[in-house]
Copies of this chain bind each other. A is one copy, B any other.
Amino acid sequence: MALIVQKYGGTSVGSTERIKNVARRVARWKAMGHDLVVVPSAMSGETNRLIGLAREISAMPDPRELDVVASTGEQVTIGLLSMALMEQGLKAKSYTGAQVKILTDSAHTKARILNIEEANMRADLAAGCVVVVAGFQGVDEMGNITTLGRGGSDTSAVALAAALKADECQIYTDVDGVYTADPRIVPEARRLTTITFEEMLEMASLGSKVLQIRSVEFAGKYNVKLRVLSSFDDVDTPGEGTLITFEEDEKMEHAIISGIAFARDEAKITVRGVPDRPGIAYAILGPVGDANIDVDMIIQNVSVDGMTDFSFTVHRNEYQKALDVLNDKVKAHIGALDIGGDEHIAKVSVVGVGMRSHVGIASQMFRTLAEEGINIQMISTSEIKISVVIDEKYVELAVRVLHKAFELDQQPA
């Protein structure tokens, strides 16, 4: 008998029929003798509807009041899901974030969880009750309703699993696990039975958005066993999903590379003809940071005749803003020749903890791309991933050839 926290996303509870299906799925786990805490999101579309109402009232809705409005989406689903569980003959009880209570700071619309009181939930579980907790929301010290930001229900589930020392936190979504690559681009992509937290973080931050990054970090910090599962497969013959582990050893026996990720949402900026002297990187990126623009990859070329080129990537939404900052505040100041940019780039990454103990991954990656005539514009590496920036038009091709080159279509030995 285990204590399991299950989180169901918006599409999984998108209609009363689907809520009934979730109740059947929960009942199956309960019948196996497990204790269950269930965390539903708002019905799909509901949070957008509520925020839309707020925006009709105000272009910049007050954050405290926006949380009062937005948190009702999850409050509706906890009530409905509890009713559906009772229809399955189970005992069930719903909790809002305030009722739990999930104490957060007061940063409305992006609050962070500080503490979770577990006594009442424990008592209900001991009485055989399924505990249903509203995701995405909490309450601050003064009793104000807070929300955790988009995707915050994942974080709620992981935090509850950590507080209750649950045996497993299951994230139900509309895909049945984490894949070696996006199956829409690589039909041979395989579902991974396990992936490490670090790999998952790299995959998530690179655009394979199965889980909220924050929830993965949270799970890693508190050693919560996370599993990604589908809520759309057959209730009676469920898949096993992908287990996200924090123990590396079992993983390393299997594969060096776990997957190929990509992101299309960046743009590249190049400052050309920059005098190569100390402090130049700060002179360029300082004003960009002051404008609240996040910078991802950064490259400084080898200096020729005391001059160098300096390139970096930003989110595509902030491309024009970054160019304006450079032209207004940086170009003349540092005496750069020219500011250029490219919005049509993509980042492709090879991710795997096995890289730590295997050499030659980078050269194999570069050779594979070269053989297809794909030029590499920028390179960035970490212990467990190698990312390259390429022309956006080659992104699908690059993902496919890398998937094949690293034999990800093969079951590991």
Query: Which of A's residues lie within 8 Å of B, judged by CB?
Result: 16, 19-20, 50, 53-54, 56-58, 61-62, 64-69, 71-72, 75-76, 78-80, 82-84, 86-87, 92-94, 96, 98-99, 143, 145
A58 touches B76 (CB 8 A): no
Query: In the complex, what distance in Å separates the CA atom of A93 from the CA atom of B71?
Result: 16
Which residues from chain B contact A94 at a C-beta distance below 8 Å? 64-65, 68
Question: Of B57, B72, B84, B98, which is within 8 A of A84 by CB?
Answer: B57
- Quick one: closest B residue to A99, CB to CB? B143
Query: In the complex, what distance in Å separates the CA atom of A98 from the CA atom of B143?
Result: 9
Query: In the complex, what distance in Å separates the CA atom of A96 from the CA atom of B144?
Result: 10
Chain A interface, DSSP helix/strand/loop, else mixed: helix
Query: In the complex, what distance in Å separates the CA atom of A208 from the CA atom of B96?
Result: 39
B58 touches A83 (CB 8 A): yes
A75 touches B68 (CB 8 A): yes
- Quick one: closest B residue to A49, CB to CB? B76
Query: In the complex, what distance in Å separates the CA atom of A117 from the CA atom of B315?
Result: 49
A80 touches B62 (CB 8 A): no
Query: In the complex, what distance in Å separates the CA atom of A276 from the CA atom of B143?
Result: 65
A57 touches B69 (CB 8 A): no
- Quick one: closest B residue to A56, CB to CB? B16
Query: In the complex, what distance in Å separates the CA atom of A407 from the CA atom of B58?
Result: 51
Question: How far is the CB of A33 from the nearest CB of chain B, in Å?
Answer: 24
Which residues from chain B contact A56 at a C-beta distance below 8 Å? 16
Which residues from chain B contact A57 at a C-beta distance below 8 Å? 16, 19-20, 80, 83-84, 87
A87 touches B58 (CB 8 A): yes
- Quick one: closest B residue to A134, CB to CB? B68
Question: How far is the CB of A250 from the nearest CB of chain B, in Å?
Answer: 42
A76 touches B53 (CB 8 A): yes
Instruction: Check A78/B68 contact, CB under 8 A, given A16-B53, A57-B19, A98-B98.
Output: yes
Query: In the complex, what distance in Å separates the CA atom of A382 from the CA atom of B72?
Result: 47
Instruction: Check A79/B65 contact, CB under 8 A, given A16-B56, A16-B57, A84-B58.
Output: yes
Instruction: Check A76/B62 contact, CB under 8 A, given A16-B57, A56-B16, A98-B98.
Output: no
Question: How far is the CB of A127 from the nearest CB of chain B, in Å?
Answer: 14
- Quick one: closest B residue to A75, CB to CB? B72
Question: How far is the CB of A117 from the nearest CB of chain B, in Å?
Answer: 11
- Quick one: closest B residue to A58, CB to CB? B83
Which residues from chain B contact A20 at a C-beta distance below 8 Å? 57
- Quick one: closest B residue to A16, CB to CB? B56
B69 touches A79 (CB 8 A): yes
8 closest A-B pairs (Cβ-Cβ)?
Answer: A69-B79, A68-B79, A72-B72, A16-B56, A65-B79, A65-B82, A57-B83, A58-B83
- Quick one: closest B residue to A77, CB to CB? B69
B54 touches A79 (CB 8 A): yes
Question: How far is the CB of A84 from the nearest CB of chain B, in Å?
Answer: 5
Question: Of B80, B86, B99, which is within 8 A of A53 by CB?
Answer: B80
B61 touches A83 (CB 8 A): yes
Which residues from chain B contact A87 at a C-beta distance below 8 Å? 57-58
Query: In the complex, what distance in Å separates the CA atom of A292 from the CA atom of B20?
Result: 34
A62 touches B82 (CB 8 A): yes
A69 touches B80 (CB 8 A): yes
Question: Of B66, B80, B84, B98, which is within 8 A of A79 by CB?
Answer: B66
Question: How far is the CB of A274 from the nearest CB of chain B, in Å?
Answer: 47
Query: In the complex, what distance in Å separates the CA atom of A69 from the CA atom of B92?
Result: 15
Question: How far is the CB of A398 from the nearest CB of chain B, in Å?
Answer: 46
Query: In the complex, what distance in Å separates the CA atom of A56 from the CA atom of B81?
Result: 12
Q: Please list 16 pairs of residues, one from A and one from B, whose beta carbons are closer than 8 Å in the complex, sorted by A's number.
A: A16-B53, A54-B83, A57-B84, A58-B84, A58-B86, A62-B86, A65-B82, A68-B75, A68-B94, A69-B75, A69-B79, A71-B75, A72-B72, A96-B145, A98-B98, A99-B143
Query: In the complex, what distance in Å separates the CA atom of A83 from the CA atom of B75?
Result: 21
- Quick one: closest B residue to A144, CB to CB? B99
Query: In the complex, what distance in Å separates the CA atom of A94 from the CA atom of B53?
Result: 16
